[in-house]
Amino acid sequence: MKRKNHNKKTFIEYNMNQTMLPLSFDVFIPENHLVRVVNSAIERMNIEPLLEKYKGGGRSSYHPKMMLKVIVYAYTQRIYSSRRIAKALRENIYFMWLSGNNKPDFRTINRFRSEIMKDVIDEVFASVLELLIEEGYVKLENYFLDGTKIEANANKYSFVWRKATKKYKARLRAKINELLKEIEKTNEEENRLYGDNDLEEMGEGKEIDSKKLEEKIKELEERLEKNSKDKKLKKTVKELKDKCLPRMKKYEQQEEILNGRNSYSKTDTDATFMRMKEDHMKNGQLKPAYNVQIGTENQFVVGYSIHQRPADSRCLIPHLEKVKEVTGKIPENVIADSGYGSEENYDYLEKANTNIYVKYNTFHKEQKKKFKNDIFKVENWPYDKENDEFICPVQRRLIYCKTKEIKTENGYTKQIRYYKCENCDECELKENCTRAKGDRVIRINFKLREYKQKVKENLCSDKGMKLRSQRAIEAESVFGRIKGNWSFRRFLLRGLEKVKIEWGLLCIAHNLAKLATV
């Protein structure tokens, strides 16, 4: 007799060919999921600038609204590669729902991002900002400005330095001068026939460029046609034409690309070598990078800009000018750290009728007792306005000497006034007061002193103290999400224009991800 099996194995039905309802992906997407926020926000946006980029005719294109949704959502999911985005469109249910089951390939995605989005990324960002303003999340009241360096997609060993270019170009000019002099010495008769005016123009102390050198080579070749037996002249002309001229053109091209910068990378000529915070080797290695500036309010990105200069102080004015273009005005209060404190920036902000909460480099030191009690600090010396004199700790007077004007890179003029002590001889405090062998000389910028006093009052007010405490968590939280949570520490695209698109998409993605959590 067979024993009954009470432990019979049973399984849930598994049939891969079974048709199931519902067929829509919508039921599988949670109600408050980020993908719905991205979809809703972009549906409400004005995408006319994007539509204008399409000429029409030929094969139908993927809808720009769908493409924008997909790319922005991909950035919120730490997916930046066009190949990985194309893969997600085939495998990820959220991407499939968002795209309406369209499956553009990686080339189409990359073309949309780098070509279609070009010149319209600011307008797309402005549309997102309008939405945030309408919803009341952004009021353009408090603008917290900060910057960070993001590594470029470039070889860190393919550098060109301005100093090196200048040095090599000077050596080349000296060599060209020697060759031309040598030609003249060995061709006295030719020199008499053709004159030496041109050579004088290209002699020592004169600027030799590729155009002048080309003209001179042409003239020398004409001489060779008349006297083809001169082997020495032929050899020298060949060296000038085959070696010196290409090198001169190369150095001129490098100077044109540098355009006042200290360096650039050969694999991304728009990237400048900068000192990065992420210095794993602890050797201060410079890397090709871009200086990224953002302004935030309530941890939403209100403005952004990309710069090729490492110094933050030079970025404030162009950054705020761009914010003005996008929003139509500069926010009421601008808050930033001491890296932005300069006379030029304070002057710009004052003319823009903005409340200034931008620290200067000695702000925190000046708050300490040690600084206030230091009798050798010029900031603590009394100033006799009537006689235009400063009084030192031993009551000796520093008399006005001269005024020097300094022009910044942007053309802004600063006035520095020099004051010299009437007599430092036999002063018992001289060793602690100055290292100068003679009398102490001080440099005073009165306009900057006035700005510093106003800024100090703003920063030390109740409102200023509150804004200062907020600044530490505003822009830093955005950088923390993008660089830390989303692991975006290196650009994928090359060139300033494409980098702007990439960072603009990141800012849009951050704003929509932030919107989903408020």
3-state SS, one letter per residue, for 391-434: ECCCCCEEEEEEEEEEECCCCCEEEEEEEEECCCCCCCCHHHHC
pLDDT over threshold 60, residue 2: no
Indicate the pLDDT class of residue 384, thresholds 50, 70 and 90: very high
Six token digits for residue 229: 């037996």
Residue 250 to residues 82, 166, 247, 440, Cα–Cα distance (Å)? 35, 12, 5, 48
Least confident of 2-6, 154-158, 187-191: 187-191
196 SS3 class: coil
Q: Which H or E run includes 351?
A: helix 343-351
Question: Within a 13 Å sphere around the CA of 105, how many CA atoms are in the beta-carbon half?
Answer: 1
CA distance 194 to 179: 17
Torsions phi, psi for 248 (to 5 deg) = -60, -45
* Helical ranges in 154-230 per DSSP H: 162-186, 188-194, 197-201, 210-226
**pLDDT attached to residue 237:** 84
Answer whether residue 230 shows pLDDT above 80: no
Share of residues in the chain with pLDDT > 90 (%): 66
In angstroms, the Cα distances linking 209 to 164, 201, 253, 360, 452 are: 17, 11, 11, 43, 46
Exposed (0-12), middle (13-18) or buried (19+): which is 242, by Cβ within 10 Å?
exposed
Strands 383-384 vs 355-358: parallel, antiparallel or unpaired? unpaired
Structural element, H or E, at residue 159: strand 159-161
Report which of residues 426 and 163 the model is more confident about: 163
* Band of residue 185 on the pLDDT scale cut at 50, 70, 90: confident
CA distance 135 to 125: 16
Whether 236 has a pLDDT exceeding 90, the answer reads no
pLDDT value at 316 more than 90: yes
pTM above 0.85, yes or no: yes
What amino acid is encoded at 2 in this protein?
K
Confidence grade of residue 229 (pLDDT, cut at 50, 70, 90): low
* pLDDT(29) > 50: yes
Residue 166 burial (CB < 10 Å; 0-12/13-18/19+)?
middle
Q: Is 325 left (phi over 0), alpha (psi -120 to 50) or beta?
A: alpha
Residue-wise pLDDT for 120-142, tens only, equals 999 999 999 999 999 999 999 99
pLDDT score, position 3? 59
Coil vs helix vs strand at 363: helix
CB-CB contact of 86 with 107 (8 Å): no
pLDDT (tens digit, 9 = 90+) per residue, 450-485?
A: 999 999 999 999 999 999 999 989 999 999 999 999
pLDDT confidence tier of residue 201, bands split at 50, 70 and 90: very low
CA separation (Å) from 320 to 155, 316, 330, 365, 413?
31, 6, 7, 28, 20
Instruction: Compute, in degrees rounded to 10, the torsion defined by CA atoms 26, 27, 29, 30.
Output: 140
CA angle at residue 20 from 19 to 22, to 5 degrees? 135
CA–CA distances in Å: residue 341 to residues 315, 316, 358 = 11, 9, 6
pLDDT of residue 280: 66
**C-alpha dihedral (65, 68, 73, 79), degrees to nearest 10:** 150
Distance (Å, whole) CA 499 – CA 162: 23
Residue 444 has pLDDT above 90, yes or no: yes
Q: What is the CA radius of gyration of the chain?
A: 33
The tokens describing 51, both together, are 């539509």
Q: Is the pLDDT of residue 70 over 50?
A: yes
Which residues touch 352 (CB under 8 Å, ≥6 apart)? 320, 330
Q: Does residue 512 carry a pLDDT above 60? A: yes
Report pLDDT digits (tens) over 385-416.
999 999 999 999 999 999 999 998 888 999 99
Task: Give the pLDDT band of residue 199 (cuts 50, 70, 90).
Answer: very low
Q: Cβ–Cβ contacts within 10 Å for residue 422, how many? A: 11
Nearest-angstrom CA–CA distance, 76 and 510: 7
- Nearest Cα neighbor of 433 from 374, 392, 376 is 376
Split at pLDDT 50, 70, 90, the class of 223 is confident
Q: Closest by alpha carbon to 82, among 505, 513, 512?
A: 505
Q: By the 8 A CB rule, do 316 and 151 touch? A: no
Map out the domains of the chain as residue ranges: 27-117, 160-264
Q: Is the pLDDT of residue 202 over 80?
A: no
Q: What is the pLDDT of residue 187?
A: 60
Better-scored residue on pLDDT, 232 or 258: 258
Residue length, the chain? 518
